[in-house]
Amino acid sequence: MGKGAGMGAGTQLVIFDCDGVLVDSEPISIAVLVEGIRAAGAVIDESVAYRRFLGRSLGSIGSILLEEYGLCFDAAHQEAMRARLFDRFRAALQPIPGVADTLSRLGRRRCVASSSQPDRIRLSLTVTGLLEYFDGNIYSSAMVKSGKPAPDLFLHAAQGMGADPAGCVVVEDSPAGIEAAKRAGMRVFAFVGGSHAEPAGLRRTVEALAPDLVFDDMRQLPRLLDGGRLDGEAARETV
């Protein structure tokens, strides 16, 4: 029996990342980030930005830019970038295909745990019509000392929802988030169905991290949580 089989009975809580899992935001976010970095005085390719910054908070990104590139991406730069990002979200942000139907059929307690600030998470869910599915159960890296890949955010979310970490399944798309979930002692399903997955080389990257499951069709999540399998390439268990 693979690790994906027989999981359903012990799942107390499903913890969703937001960007790239619930909302198809990563291409917009990375494009705006690259523009912001250029405005601050450095040039970074989108491919590098995907690899280094996917799933990380702006604070973490600022630290990486300072340590690795000598670039001061300060609060003023971050606020200007956030304003541009919010404008683009309002104009163009879409939900991940099938996610609303999945949430309506999930039949399990759920919450959001994202590296983004609370206002960005709420905006993303509001614009895409998903806010109603979470009943205010939104957790942000702003609420903990250390963001992903540290386990703090997922542990904080589990505590807030009254769930045992061992009974949680995290749905994540980023390497930092997958590492955080594993460090929190939670099962993790890696989602590679966002429009950023191919340009980011996401499947190859996340498979190397050995999540419990890799899948690319959000509509199949309820079945996967019940221990079901998908034919072909839509879902792939790791060993």
Residue range 43-102, pLDDT digits in tens:
898 888 888 887 777 788 888 899 988 988 888 888 888 899 999 999 999 999 999 999
Using DSSP, how many helices (H) and how many strands (E) does the chain show? 10, 7
Q: Which CATH superfamily is domain 8-24+94-237 in?
A: HAD superfamily/HAD-like (3.40.50.1000)
pLDDT band at 239 (very low <50, low <70, confident <90, very high): very low
d(CA 148, CA 175): 9
Q: How many CA atoms lie within 13 A of 227 on its CB side?
A: 10
> Coil, strand or helix: which one is 50?
helix
State the DSSP H helix or E strand holding residue 30, giving kind and residue range, or none if neither. helix 26-40
pLDDT at residue 7 tops 60: no
- At 237, the amino acid letter reads E
d(CA 129, CA 118): 16
Beta-carbon contacts of residue 211 (< 8 Å; ≥ 6 apart) = 172, 178, 181, 182, 188, 189, 190, 238
**Residue-by-residue DSSP string for 168-217:** EEEEE-SHHHHHHHHHTT-EEEEE--STTTTTTTHHHHHHTT--SEEES-
Q: According to CATH, where is 1.10.150.240 located in the chain?
A: 26-92
Q: According to CATH, where is 3.40.50.1000 located in the chain?
A: 8-24+94-237
d(CA 126, CA 121): 9
- pLDDT at residue 41, as a whole number: 87
Q: How many CA atoms lie within 13 A of 4 on its CB side?
A: 21
| pLDDT tens by residue, 186-206 | 999 999 999 998 888 899 999
Q: Which CATH superfamily is domain 26-92 in?
A: Putative phosphatase; domain 2 (1.10.150.240)
Beta-carbon contacts of residue 154 (< 8 Å; ≥ 6 apart) = 15, 113, 165, 168, 170, 180, 181, 184, 186
- pLDDT at residue 103, as a whole number: 97
